[in-house]
Amino acid sequence: MRTQHPRDADPLAALSPFESARLMAVMRDTALSRGHLPLPARPVIGASWDRVLRLGLDPDHGRVPLPLGLDELERRRKETRLADVLPTLHSGLLEAAEAAGHIMIIADADGRILWIDGHRGIRRHAAEGIALVEGSHWAEDVAGTSGIGTALAVRSPVRVHSAEHFVRAFHTWSCAAAPVRDARDGRLLGVVDISGPAATAHPTVLSLVTATARWAEGELRLAHSRELDAVRAIAAPVLARIHGKAVVVDRHGWVAGVTGVTPRDRRLLLPKAAHDGRVWLPALGMCAVEPLPGGHLLRVLDGEDDEHGAPARQGRLVLDVRHPHHWSLTFSGPSGTWTHQLSARHAEVLLVLAAHPEGRTAAQLAQDLFGDPTRTVTVRAAMSRLRGRLGAVLAHRPYRIADGIRLDVTKPDRPDKLLPFSAAPAVGRLRRDGDPAG
């Protein structure tokens, strides 16, 4: 099992903690005076500092918004799936954190801290010194470069040590964080983090945090598998009585059974609502929707238009990339509406296609995404997965949004906040020049 991401390779690892912290402090001051980070910093830290510099964050204190009220904090705790794996996270990390004189932190996808546990003295010191308390906000645009905020931004495990923190007030701290995703839809749930005094931090803590996060994701995957098995038990006798094409899915669109049709993907996009029980789905076309315990029965209505007589593949897509950590694609048409949560790569692809309505070849997309036109195999694999989800919405040869479908982009309030994690050359140009599809 991989427990440390390549992006965290550290050219300063040969130095003592004191020497590396001192060098990073000098580099930070240079970055503030020149507006960019000089080498030899780790790329993940340099990219984070660049993002924070563009935001104009206070380098001494960051932003200090008020913590969540108790009612809002309890609401978030009850609604998050992270609550389902609290025992797993505690058993994997809490003992080690306490033994090292550190604390364990669990934050949601917005960077709001939901739970803190661990060494009592360090918890008190964190609360008094840097307002590290339950309900506080630690996203990158608030607290700058940190384990929590930067792991959310790049969606990968990250260790931030001492003066690698952009905000000077956090230089006496070291933290290691890893993201946790929902197995049902890949959505980012939040991060798990171990933080404590920089003088007592150990580099291997990142491996422990990452392994525990993967363990928690495995628990969520098993829970979903059990839910899907229950829907399959209901689906089998229902489908046996149907003549024609039909699919049974759970509430999240995962296929539990089929008859007469083979969907290209194991998960289908589901509508928010159905008009008279009829909706158009990208992977199947027009369908009649019937409720089942734990899911839906989708009867495929071959060759039918919607109730207004318009072809099923007419409509409007809205790509929402306002949030720095999660993005969605919504289709609206006369027959219904569905919303799909996007991966980072698919958000990049759709943003590029929105900027190039005429379409892009595999080589052009490889240049757009990686700065290398030869990486067509990677592009074709990503596009195959995306077409499996979007079906007739996405055309190919060249890759483009299908005729009759309009794609609009809902952007953040500032161009430099557009997919801040992305290193894709085309996204960088859109940040600099503005998004013509918005």
Query: pTM of the predicted model, to two decimals?
Result: 0.73
> Does a structural domain hold residue 142?
yes
CATH number of the domain where residue 76 is located: 3.30.450.40
Tens of pLDDT, residue by residue, the chain (438 residues): 444 444 445 554 544 555 555 666 666 666 666 655 554 467 888 888 888 888 888 888 788 778 899 999 999 999 999 999 999 999 989 998 988 899 999 999 999 999 999 998 998 888 878 888 999 999 998 999 999 999 999 889 999 998 889 888 898 899 999 999 998 877 899 999 999 998 888 888 999 999 999 999 999 999 999 999 999 999 999 899 988 899 999 988 899 999 998 887 788 877 665 545 777 777 787 888 888 888 889 999 876 544 433 444 567 889 998 887 778 888 776 555 677 778 888 889 999 999 998 999 999 999 999 999 999 999 998 888 887 677 667 888 899 888 878 889 998 888 878 887 788 899 988 888 765 455
Q: Which three-class secondary structure state does DSSP give residue 345?
A: helix
The count of domains in the chain is: 3
The answer to whether residues 129 and 68 belong to one domain is yes
Q: Is residue 228 part of a domain?
A: no
> What is the C-alpha separation between 357 and 431, in angstroms, rounded?
18
Establish if 310 belongs to a structural domain: no
283 and 321 housed in the same domain:
no
Which residue segment(s) compose the domain that 56 sits in?
7-222
Both 273 and 176 in one domain: the answer is no
358 and 332 in a single domain? The answer is yes
Residues 184, 250 within the same domain: no
Residues 265 and 164 in one domain: no
Last residue of a domain, one of 252, 274, 300: 300
Domain boundary among 274, 300, 326: 300
**164 plus 269 within the same structural domain:** no
Q: Can you list the positions of beta strands (E) in 309-413?
A: 315-320, 327-333, 336-342, 394-395, 400-401, 405-410
Same domain, 383 and 329: yes
Decide: 407 and 353 in contact? Cβ < 8 Å.
Answer: yes
Establish if 309 belongs to a structural domain. Answer: no
Give the three-class secondary structure for 31: helix
